[in-house]
């Protein structure tokens, strides 16, 4: 009898799994090596060439030892946040093994197939209407995962998964940023900014001691070129992680995601998710992280490892391939644009983003969040009812 496979072994996304499915990374997990080197190399140089010399410069109350201990502990904390962000499920939505055929509609197609026969393509309603905070919001159908996405969910073309409260795909951590790892991502970015400030300050302090000892800045720079390099490196890196921290503080305060802000330019006055600045921060930092919808180590049956290949499924898959390819570049552009946003001053970020929103005409919420809004809709339903029914349907397909 064949040994049953586990879910991570037949996973349809592009994720990479380690330690028997206990850790899940994105397909670009190798970029973590670059991120680790960008953190560890300057910290090692600082500890060996700067902090060690401060042990003799500040002998009182063992302050020099405190600087060295703080650097090591804070670096371990930053690396822990990086692993917590990269190696966990960001909030992947359960897939369906086949389209909901009971909701298919059929319409004539003007295209002529080889052989001269008119084709008839299966069409699902592109959107459904659910209620969020008492207001109607349209959710789109995902042609890859074959489910109606929950509100604020989007399909990442890099990982090939639908992710709840999708923010962006971050190439620096090699993972999608979503509902379950956004908090750790923000803490990682903000803690990295604080680490840059600390290294810059301590390196500048050591340079001051050298200037007092040798008399000139030039002699001090010749005595400790590592301090100069660390100061320049920390200053440049601070523009990136510091600007990114300020940008995400604005997003948290207005209850937006990077995806919504870059692609849809949500007007804060029309944001149904905005609960006020204080409650928005409490929602991100003081709520319990929901458990993953997936048990990647669970056994799966052979009949659930691959979706059904009926005629309806094949027709639906052909219609979805083009849309999947078109979305890849769009998702990657969001991650690349974050570098530009992070280089703005914190004081200018909020004004720039608001002015960008005023440059465009106001849009309806449904238009801003879910495209043009011209697709056919089904009857409205509450999001809680929709989510629970979706979970029940997918649980029946799993062991």
112 pLDDT above the threshold of 80? no
Mean pLDDT of 50-61: 82
pLDDT per position as a tens digit, 20-43: 999 999 999 899 999 999 999 999
Stretch (H or E) spanning 120: strand 118-123
Task: Report which of residues 144 and 345 the model is more confident about.
Answer: 144
> CB neighbours of 107 closer than 8 A, spacing ≥ 6?
120, 121, 123
Q: Look at residue 126 in the predicted model and tell me its pLDDT.
A: 81
Q: Look at residue 106 in the predicted model and tell me its pLDDT.
A: 43
186 pLDDT above the threshold of 90? yes
**Percent helix / strand / coil, the chain, rounded to 5:** 55, 15, 30
Q: Look at residue 109 in the predicted model and tell me its pLDDT.
A: 38
Least confident range from 297-306, 349-358, 367-376: namely 367-376
Residues recognised as catalytic: 170
Task: Report which of residues 77 and 59 the model is more confident about.
Answer: 77
Least confident range from 39-43, 113-117, 271-275: namely 113-117
CB atoms within 10 A of CB 389: 11
CA dist., res. 122 & res. 313, Å (int): 9
Q: What single string gives the DSSP state of each residue in 48-98?
A: IIIIHHHHHH--GGGHHHHHHHHHHHHHHHHHHHHHHHHSS---BPPP-SS
The DSSP secondary-structure symbol of 117 reads P
pLDDT per position as a tens digit, 140-174: 888 888 888 999 999 998 999 999 999 999 999 99
Q: Look at residue 134 in the predicted model and tell me its pLDDT.
A: 74
Task: Report which of residues 216 and 372 the model is more confident about.
Answer: 216
Mean pLDDT, the chain, as a whole number? 77
Instruction: Report pTM.
Output: 0.74
The DSSP secondary-structure symbol of 10 reads G
CA dist., res. 365 & res. 367, Å (int): 5
Percent with pLDDT over 70 in the chain: 67
> CB neighbours of 378 closer than 8 A, spacing ≥ 6?
103, 125, 127, 128, 129
Max CA separation in the chain (angstroms): 91
Beta bridge partners of 355: none
Task: Report which of residues 136 and 205 the model is more confident about.
Answer: 205
Q: Would you say 196 and 234 are in contact if contact means Cβ atoms under 8 Å apart?
A: yes
Q: Look at residue 355 in the predicted model and tell me its pLDDT.
A: 44
Least confident range from 47-56, 233-242, 248-257, 315-324: namely 315-324
The beta-carbon contacts of 260-263 under 8 Å, at least 24 apart in sequence, are: 260/152, 260/369, 261/353, 262/168, 262/334, 262/337, 263/330, 263/334
CA dist., res. 131 & res. 265, Å (int): 21
- 3-state secondary structure at position 198: helix
Q: What stretches of 314-397 adopt beta strand conformation (E)?
A: 381-382
What the block records as the tokens of 125 is 């309603």
Q: Look at residue 129 in the predicted model and tell me its pLDDT.
A: 78
Q: Would you say 351 and 186 are in contact if contact means Cβ atoms under 8 Å apart?
A: no
What the block records as the tokens of 399 is 């062991």
């Amino acid at each position: 009898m064949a040994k049953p496979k586990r879910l991570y072994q037949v996973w349809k996304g592009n994720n990479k799994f380690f330690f028997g499915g206990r850790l899940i990374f994105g397909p670009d997990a190798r970029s973590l090596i670059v991120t680790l080197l960008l953190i560890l190399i300057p910290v090692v140089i600082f500890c060996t060439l700067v902090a060690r010399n401060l042990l003799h410069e500040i002998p009182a109350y063992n302050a020099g030892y405190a600087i060295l201990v703080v650097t090591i502990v804070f670096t371990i904390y930053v690396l822990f946040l990086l692993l917590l962000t990269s190696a966990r499920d960001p909030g992947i939505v359960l897939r369906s093994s086949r389209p909901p055929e009971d909701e298919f509609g059929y319409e004539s197609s003007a295209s002529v197939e080889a052989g001269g026969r008119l084709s008839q393509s299966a069409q699902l309603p592109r959107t459904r209407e659910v209620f969020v905070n008492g207001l109607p919001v349209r959710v789109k159908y995902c042609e890859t995962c074959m489910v109606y996405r929950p509100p604020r969910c989007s399909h990442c073309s890099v990982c090939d998964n639908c992710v709840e409260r999708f923010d962006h795909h971050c190439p620096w951590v090699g993972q999608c940023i979503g509902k379950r790892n956004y908090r750790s991502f923000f803490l990682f970015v903000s803690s990295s900014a604080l680490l840059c400030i600390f290294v810059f300050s301590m390196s500048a302090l050591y340079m001051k001691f050298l200037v007092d000892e040798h008399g000139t800045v030039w002699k001090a720079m010749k005595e400790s070129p590592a301090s100069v390099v660390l100061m320049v490196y920390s200053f440049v890196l601070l523009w990136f992680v510091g600007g990114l921290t300020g940008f995400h503080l604005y997003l948290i305060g207005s209850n937006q995601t990077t995806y919504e802000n870059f692609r849809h330019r949500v007007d804060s006055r029309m944001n149904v998710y905005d609960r006020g600045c204080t409650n928005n921060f409490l929602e991100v930092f003081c709520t319990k992280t929901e458990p993953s919808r997936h048990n990647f180590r669970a056994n799966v049956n052979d009949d659930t490892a691959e979706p059904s290949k009926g005629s309806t499924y094949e027709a639906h898959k052909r219609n979805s391939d083009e849309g999947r390819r078109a979305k890849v570049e769009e998702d990657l552009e969001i991650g690349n644009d974050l570098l530009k946003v992070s280089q703005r001053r914190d004081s200018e970020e909020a004004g720039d983003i608001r002015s960008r929103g005023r440059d465009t005409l106001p849009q309806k919420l449904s238009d801003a969040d879910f495209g043009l809004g011209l697709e056919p809709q089904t009857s409205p339903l509450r999001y809680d009812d929709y989510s629970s029914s979706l979970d029940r349907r997918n649980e029946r397909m799993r062991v």
